[in-house]
Structure 1
């Protein structure tokens, strides 16, 4: 709850230092005294737009500091801890406005973006201005009020979760769908390329082998001729062949070695040479006889090589890598087929999740219809206590299963009222006046106070347009609301002001050169005097004082 508010040089406030209490605190003062300035200053700390025009004349800056006790407010504590801004059970917001038009924001002494003030503010204070009850006319606000009355968050949370699951599936499906044409073109090209390579059927290492075999076949006759010539020179030309000449030399050396034994080693080497030449000649003869001459096979190899080179150029790879390219294309086709399977799987998942969503939304709608009956009865009873005894109040919940899914279900929720006997119920915005809307809003706030996470509620003259017994009833309702949460109410009605557990008076003074607004905490005597002023105007009578005392004892 709000515990302290300090204001410096804001509007017509020079300096203000106030402590606040649990329960209902009322703020009163003469018209134009600036009863709402403290609320406006607090709004700055809650992240509202800063305006350099709000700086007090003659000063370079304005500063507002608000302190909160969050000991029993785990949501705010969790938020602060998540942003590394927590300090035990306290929270201090500070806003500085500079003459240059800029502003600075602080949470627990740490400078932060203004947006973070707004994020945290929703967990600390709820402000209802003079026209805040107009929010009651918005369908989404009516829905949120009804949902706030639930005993369990489960139906709404389930619908919310399934909806977001459905949205995620739709996004994945849309992404695949958008790429479908491109994927189909890619699949067709890959299928054509795979068919082409499958028909060619490349084998790993085949190209080098084919090249070698083609080289031999294409030079077969030349190899045979050259081999025949070499055999003649090496062995077949009798004494003119190399073998015959070495044989002649070997015989001569053998005769000479009989005279000189030193030549025997040379004779041995020459004999070995003859053996090697004879063996090599035999191998060469076999090679010559085995040289293939097959024009048909040569043609086939030439066709295979030409086709491989052409395919390699087409696929921008080396001919020897065609088998690898073939495997890659098969993998691409497999992946593309898996995309098609994923699309089918997604479509089935979407269908299943849509059924889950419909079931969750129907369950939520049933819970809302049950809650609507209970809440309508409580609101109608509360309105009777607020001097609207003939008001008929009904919350209508219609589930439209044909509308697009939303995170809040499929319900159309609308508040219907009849404010006069015999008048048929109609949508609230068509028949309720501003004062009636204000009372309906207050009745709902009181009923839902225990379920509202915000620890401080501020009403800025929401009692405009009411008086007499209705004003007393409104004051009592505000006091009842103050029993479960901190309530701060700016009012001009004594019947409301007297219900406060604490009361503050706003006064405006001037010395002719400058105007200053101050706010004072009133003791009992001060409250009697202020209530008497509210009852009788500027001329306070003894009767007004007695009435004021009577109001405080009620």
Structure 2
């Protein structure tokens, strides 16, 4: 229940502090006085959109705070507990606060803790339900009609399941379409790859093979000069006809060894020369091995030359360096494999999509059945209610049919149509075709009252929902709202004395201006105040004893 509302520098309000009670509170005042400003301020505190023009001219920011008692609101208490936002001082109270600066930026607080706007909205929906003055016009919209049935039936969990399964189906369907859209292009790419890979497979170039081919080709191409120079070097080192390096070293070592007894310092020189002998002998061995293996094989050379030429040709064709041809081959093979996998992915997506569609239809059909069942019950109640609202021959009916295009939707598979018969002898027709403004207002009010009785929101606000209603019908509306206020906190902004007179308490809105500044104020009327104010609703400024008597009669009747 809303206990207190404090408004500062909001629109034409300088400062307003209001205390509220249980029951029905009627809010009255002259047209343009600002009766809906307090409702707008509360809406802002509950998470509605903030704008810069909400800040009073000449001030830096607007601030609104609302204090609620949570004794009869277990859902809100649990929400606060789940989000670690419960009040430290009193678990049965909750304080919401919203500030808006003159640039239009706002901040939100729950029990003194800064919170994102989404959290403020989420909690606000559990505390207050606001019915605007043009709500009945929205009855003509199909999605609003559907939401009315769902709200009456309490389909929140079932709707969430339908929405979740729809989103899963929609995601898979989108992926499948994307895959199918690119499949034609992939198929063309796959055919090209298949040809290229077959060509590379047939050539079968091994890893690092081109470098080996290049090395061998170079060696064989220069084998004659290599062999000649190897032989010349061997002759100079060890195989000379008259003299060679090894013979000279051996004779030198022998000559020095004969003199080592005469000079011990020769030992190091002899050791160095012996090491050189060993190294030259090793080099000669390697040269003989190279010479023996440098066979002039024209066939081998031709094979190498052909393979290298083919490798160079393939490399030019694939626009890569020949040493990277093997890596390119592996890359194309990997891409081809991925394209094959994409076809498997499409098949898997189709299978997953079928499963998701079955799950969606299970929940959507269950939702449809529940809607049809509750639509019959709601139709009967609305019919009974509008007949009390001076539509004695009125009949209201809700028709639910499957969507003709069978398109999946997060709201289910149903099309809804509100039909009404306002006079005897007529047939049921679409509400948009036959209902006048006043009849539409009465039907909308009947719906709001009926649905409000089933929604566990502790505070209901009706902002001029009685537009287009007058006379005896207004009296019935007033009694209807007062009856609703016996168990729920009700706020009703109204111009009708028959409605205002049914309030458990009365609040009056005034507007003052000094030529430079305008200010709106709201006061709670004392026991002697209501007759005077209700009389002004009947006759304006011309208040007589007769109008006062009528006002007292309305209050006594209530």
Verify the 8 A CA contact 2:85 2:113 in the aligned structure 1.
no
1:322-368, Cα deviation, whole Å (9 max, x unpaired)? 43433333222212221222123223322443343334333322221
2:29 aligned residue? 29
CA displacement at 1:300 relative to structure 2? 0.5
Are 2:386 and 1:391 aligned?
no
Are 2:109 and 1:105 aligned?
no
Q: Which moved more, 1:351-360 or 1:225-234?
A: 225-234
Q: Which moved more, 1:3-12 or 1:425-434?
A: 3-12
Distance 1:502-1:297 versus aligned 2 partners, 3 A rule: same
Verify the 8 A CA contact 1:460 1:491 in the aligned structure 2.
yes
1:290-342, Cα deviation, whole Å (9 max, x unpaired)? 54222111100112223334545666766555434333332222122212221
Verify the 8 A CA contact 1:29 1:492 in the aligned structure 2.
yes
| Structure 1, gaps ≥5 residues long | none
Are 2:394 and 1:405 aligned?
no
Aligned residues: 546
Q: Which moved more, 1:64-73 or 1:283-292?
A: 283-292
Are 2:313 and 1:304 aligned?
no
| Structure 2, gaps ≥5 residues long | none
Verify the 8 A CA contact 2:498 2:554 in the aligned structure 1.
no
Are 2:427 and 1:449 aligned?
no
2:66 aligned residue? 67
2:361 aligned residue? 358
Distance 1:453-1:103 versus aligned 2 partners, 3 A rule: farther
Verify the 8 A CA contact 2:45 2:66 in the aligned structure 1.
no
Are 2:544 and 1:540 aligned?
yes
1:141-181, Cα deviation, whole Å (9 max, x unpaired)? 11000011225544322221111011211332344345445
Distance 1:270 1:461 in 2: 120
Are 2:528 and 1:525 aligned?
yes
Distance 1:17 1:456 in 2: 18
Verify the 8 A CA contact 2:2 2:20 in the aligned structure 1.
yes
Alignment counterpart, residue 484 of structure 2, candidates 474, 481, 499: 481
1:392-441, Cα deviation, whole Å (9 max, x unpaired)? 11101010253422111121111101011111001111111222222212
Are 2:21 and 1:16 aligned?
no
Verify the 8 A CA contact 2:42 2:66 in the aligned structure 1.
no
In the superposition, the TM-score normalised over structure 2's length comes to: 0.79
Are 2:96 and 1:92 aligned?
yes
CA displacement at 1:41 relative to structure 2? 4.4
CA displacement at 1:95 relative to structure 2? 4.4
Verify the 8 A CA contact 1:95 1:103 in the aligned structure 2.
no
CA displacement at 1:541 relative to structure 2? 2.1
CA displacement at 1:121 relative to structure 2? 5.3
1:491 aligned residue? 494
1:365-390, Cα deviation, whole Å (9 max, x unpaired)? 22211111111112212223333232
1:226-281, Cα deviation, whole Å (9 max, x unpaired)? 5666677778776x36599789979x98xx98xx999xx999x9999999999998
Structure 2 matches for 1:161-240, cutoff 5 A? Answer: 161-180=164-183, 183-184=186-187, 186-225=189-228, 240=242
Distance 2:40 2:278 in 1: 120
Distance 2:326 2:468 in 1: 89
Are 2:42 and 1:38 aligned?
no
Q: Which moved more, 1:301-310 or 1:430-439?
A: 301-310
Distance 1:103-1:236 versus aligned 2 partners, 3 A rule: closer
CA displacement at 1:11 relative to structure 2? 6.2
Distance 1:274 1:67 in 2: 106
Alignment counterpart, residue 293 of structure 1, candidates 296, 308, 327: 296
Distance 2:200 2:380 in 1: 78
2:346 aligned residue? 343
Distance 1:28 1:174 in 2: 58
SS in 2 for 1:293: coil
CA displacement at 1:453 relative to structure 2? 5.9
Distance 1:513 1:230 in 2: 116
SS in 2 for 1:149: helix
SS in 1 for 2:490: strand
Q: Which moved more, 1:383-392 or 1:136-145?
A: 383-392
CA displacement at 1:535 relative to structure 2? 5.5
1:3 aligned residue? 3
Q: Which moved more, 1:385-394 or 1:370-379?
A: 385-394
Distance 1:498-1:322 versus aligned 2 partners, 3 A rule: same
